[in-house]
Amino acid sequence: MGCITVVLCSDLPRFCLERWQSERETRARILLSESGVEPLSLSLLEEFGVNVELVSVELGYGWTKGSPGLRSAIAEYHDGVITREHVLVTVGSSEANFLSVTSIVKPGDTVVVDMPAYMQVHGLLETRGARLYMAWRSPENEWELPLADLLEFIQTKKPRAIYLVNPNNPTGRIERENVLREIAREASKTGTIIVVDEVYRG
C-alpha cells in the first residue's frame, strides 16, 4: 500500500498566480491566463503520424531518474555536451525548480532572479533564506534581460546562482544567444551556477 506524507510548510509565501488560476481556470468560459497551447488529442496526434498505440504499455512503477531511453534522448538533444548520467527526469518543471533550489541554495546565499517571471522559484528562494537580487526586465527594452546590470552584479557580488526563465513567462521574450553567452562567460569566472527554466522552449 502506498503512502503519501503531506508536509505543511507555513513559511512558503502564497503563490498568488497559481492560487488565482486554480480557483478559476476550470470554470472560466474564456481563459485568458493560459500560457500553453491548446492541447492535442491522441487521435489528432495519430493523424500527424505519431504512434499512439498504448494498449501494450505496462502501467508499472517507473524508473526513479527517468527511463534510460528518455534520458539518453535528452542528453542527445543537448548536442552531446552531457551524457545520460547527467540527466534527471522530473514530474514537470516545478519539481525540477524545487530540486534545484533545495540542492544549490543555502540560507544567506546571494541569488539573482529574473523579473518578471513565473514566481515559484522566487517563493522557494525566500523560504530558503536566500538574499535575492531582482534582475528586472523592462518593456522599453523589449523585455530583454538587463545585461549590463547582470554582468556588474556577477563581477561584484559573485552570486551563488542566477535563475532565468527563457523563453520568459510572462513576457514571451526569447533571449538572444549572445546575451546568454555573455552571462555564461562571466558566471563561469565566479563559479556562479546558471539555472534556466526552458519549459516553453520549442
Nearest C-alpha neighbor of 83 from the set 75, 91, 92: 75
Site map (CB under 6 A) of ligand PLP, residues 76-115, x = contact: ----------------xxx---------------------
Q: What angle do CA 164, 169, 170 make, to 5 degrees?
A: 130
Compute the distance between CA of residue 24 and CA of residue 111 in angstroms, rounded to an integer.
33
Nearer to ligand PLP, 90 or 157 (CB): 90
Of residues 154, 169, 187, 192, which one binds ligand PLP by CB under 6 A? 169
**Residue 61 is inside which H or E element, if any?**
none
Q: Which residue is nearest to ligand PLP (CB)?
A: 92
Nearest C-alpha neighbor of 123 from the set 7, 5, 9: 9
Q: Shortest approach of ligand PLP to residue 198 CB, angstroms?
A: 9
The reply to whether 35 sits near ligand PLP by the rule CB under 6 A is yes
Compute the distance between CA of residue 146 and CA of residue 148 in angstroms, rounded to an integer.
6
Of residues 87, 105, 114, 118, which one binds ligand PLP by CB under 6 A? 118
The reply to whether 202 sits near ligand PLP by the rule CB under 6 A is no
Nearer to ligand PLP, 116 or 146 (CB): 116
The reply to whether 150 sits near ligand PLP by the rule CB under 6 A is no
Chain centroid to CA 110: 19
The reply to whether 132 sits near ligand PLP by the rule CB under 6 A is no
Helix (H, G, I), strand (E, B) or coil at 150: helix
Compute the distance between CA of residue 143 and CA of residue 136 in angstroms, rounded to an integer.
9
Nearer to ligand PLP, 16 or 155 (CB): 16
Amino acid letter for position 42: L
The reply to whether 163 sits near ligand PLP by the rule CB under 6 A is no
- Tell me which residues touch ligand PLP (CB under 6 A): 35, 92-94, 118, 165, 169, 197, 199
